[in-house]
Amino acid sequence: PGGWLAYKFGGTHIFGASLGIASLLTLLTPFLARFNIYVLIGLRICEGLVLGVLFPCNHAIWAIWAPPLERSRLFTITAAGCPVGTIITMPIAGLLSKYGFDGGWASVFYVSGGVGLIWYFVWCMTIHSTPDSHPTISSHEVEHIKSHMVSLKENRIVQFHG
């Protein structure tokens, strides 16, 4: 569904909404952990489903913004954000668990959810769906991108037999 959503509504919009919703759900985690374990499990499943669209959206974004010969490199750089983010946040989470507020462990969710919401608002203010809609990209660069693009609109029939 992530690829379909990205194609239907735009990868940039779904990508941002996904991280915004996941950030809100992260902020709710400590409260629900204290309220009911089954509701917490449901919340974490929902968070996983919401985040499941990120990689398909990433592909959809680069399909519009990058010429084919640059896509794999750019996708790899953006996909590397997941493990790099983990490397950075794990020590911070450990410190927050030990020294943080609201029992320590809960501050991990408040801080990461809060940072995610800040990221979401910055994303919404700065992102543009296409190179044509970006106010500061040069016309030369837009032409470079467009001249190397393959049409995504045509319906292709994939043959599954020899």
The per-residue pLDDT for 22 is 97
The answer on 154 and 107 residing in a single domain is: no
Mean residue pLDDT of the chain comes to 89
Print the domain residue range for 147: 136-161
Mean pLDDT of 76-88: 92
In SS3 terms, the chain reads as CHHHHHHHHCHHHHHHHHHHHHHHHHHHHHHHHHHCHHHHHHHHHHHHHHHCCHHHHHHHHHHHHCCHHHHHHHHHHHHCHHHHHHHHHHHHHHHHHHHCCCCCHHHHHHHHHHHHHHHHHHHHHHCCCCHHHCCCCCHHHHHHHHHCCCCCCCCCCCCCCC
The answer on 55 and 37 residing in a single domain is: yes
pTM for this structure?
A: 0.81
Is the pLDDT reported for residue 33 higher than 70?
Answer: yes
The answer on 14 and 86 residing in a single domain is: yes
The answer on 120 and 140 residing in a single domain is: no
